[in-house]
Chain A
Amino acid sequence: MATVNETKNTIIADEQIVELYWARDEKAIQFTDDKYGRFLYRIAYNILHDRLDCEECQNDTYRGIWNSIPPNRPEVFLIFISKIMRNIAGMKYRERTRKRKVPSEMTVCMDDLQCTLQSNDSPEAEYLAKELGRHINDYLCSLTDRQQYIFIGRFYMGDRLEIIAGELNVNVSTVHREIEKIKQGLKAYLERNGVYV
């Protein structure tokens, strides 16, 4: 079995990592951590803003990936694992918000988005989230590539405006204006489609 140092020096393609999971080779987890560990940690940190919780979520994510592949054979490994991390971090977030407000970037962006839409309490919460998600997808279809990038960066990844501005090589105020425009557009879209406001 390869040592940690050996795996760290090898840049491995995502397809090869997936094959290792299928072969039930534990090196797959090490390669995943080497290549995407920081990225996954960042998703968790944007949601939870707590080092210990993030590390716990990261371990849970690797376990989740190990248990999901097989039977899954993801086409885009990065999307697959980011969804698992987001889901796990989201559940931890829900658990913590029951006790108190979580001081994370995700809280800021969700508070921000909540100004756009309101919901009623329903026992069919999962169904509601799915329906809302469908509407968001339909709305994203109407946006430009750049606006989609900003939406995903802000509301899916939970990145700070400074990070997004740096990536796009624009001012923070420019990103802020774009987000306001996206929010207004989403609100108008949801109202037109009868989503309860």
Chain B
Amino acid sequence: MSDNYLLMKAVDYVDDRYLGKYFSMKEKLSHQKIKRKKAIKWSINIAVCFLVVLIAVPVIMHFTQHNTPAPVIKYYDNIAEVRDDLGYDTLYSKLELNGASIMLSYKSDEDGNAQLDSPLQLKIGYSYSTEAGKDAVDYYILFDKDNVDDSYIGGYDEQGLTKIINGVTVHYSEIFDGSNHTQAKFIYEGNLYVIDIVSTDKIDLDHYLNSLLCD
């Protein structure tokens, strides 16, 4: 009998109790392995859920920001009332705007009341009669803006035109879309001013800008 075969035969005589213990332990180890795999799988699932929540919550919050309390709009009869609520003069305080349509939006508090220390946008609509026709002017202030590109009024391509009036850089565009249309904007004392003019005749933009920026 070869040595290997002798050994194989000898091991054949291993007692049944050791074989029984072996098979029992094998089954137990198999169950433990399944439990370990399940635990790892659950851990991964929980980690993935946690990660999804961690990412999804800020994303959802970002897209639902518009669901924050709606701004409150206040209407005014004259520009002096606007100054009273704001607590300071704007460039538009210089203008004679009798009968103008004046509205100012504010952030609202939890109760839906206007927070006067948080103005969002002022809009003054006024019509001027000129020698040739009429100019319909909308004066805007977008509060707390430091960049002219923060304006969303107009909806047309910027032409990149600028002029400097009394040290203030004014960006403007001239559009001819059947009517004369000009929009100018500039930053002044931390706010963005936008003047939007539609006229039946040629627009004298400098007239409007000088009335605001020159003494």
Contact = CB atoms under 8 A, between A and B. Distances in A.
B88 interface: no
A56 B33 CA distance: 33
B1 A156 contact: no
B8 A106 contact: yes
Interface in B120-173: none
Interface string A108-130: 00110110011101000110111
Contacts of A117: 7
A118 B5 contact: no
Interface residues on B, range: 20 to 34
A87 B12 contact: yes
Contacts of A137: 13-15, 18
A154 B98 CA distance: 103
A156 B7 contact: no
A155 B18 CA distance: 13
Given A90-B8, A169-B33, A129 B1 contact: yes
B55 interface: no
B9 interface: yes
A125 B7 CA distance: 11
Of listed B8, B20, B25, B30, residue having the most chain A CB within 10 A: B8
Given A76-B20, A148-B21, A167 B33 contact: yes
Given A136-B10, A137-B18, A94 B23 contact: no
A69 interface: no
Given A97-B5, A145-B25, A129 B13 contact: yes
Contacts of B5: 90, 93-94, 97
B2 interface: yes
A133 B9 contact: yes
Given A79-B23, A110-B7, A94 B15 contact: no
Interface in A27-53: 47
Interface in A140-154: 140, 145, 148-149, 152-153
Contact of A133 (B2, B13, B30): B13
A129 B12 contact: yes
A149 B21 contact: yes
B61 interface: no
Main secondary structure of the interface of A (DSSP, over half): helix
Contacts of A61: none
Nearest to B23: A78
A103 B3 CA distance: 16
A44 B106 CA distance: 85
A133 B3 contact: no
B39 to A, nearest CB: 12
A136 B14 contact: yes
B67 interface: no
A60 B21 CA distance: 27
Given A83-B12, A90-B8, A169-B36, 20 more contacts: A78-B23, A79-B16, A90-B5, A90-B9, A93-B5, A94-B2, A94-B5, A106-B8, A110-B4, A110-B7, A113-B7, A117-B7, A125-B6, A137-B13, A148-B21, A148-B22, A149-B21, A167-B26, A167-B33, A169-B32
17 contacts: A76-B16, A78-B23, A79-B16, A79-B19, A87-B12, A117-B7, A125-B9, A126-B9, A129-B9, A130-B13, A136-B10, A137-B13, A140-B15, A140-B18, A148-B18, A149-B22, A152-B18
Interface of B: 1-16, 18-23, 25-26, 29-30, 32-33, 36
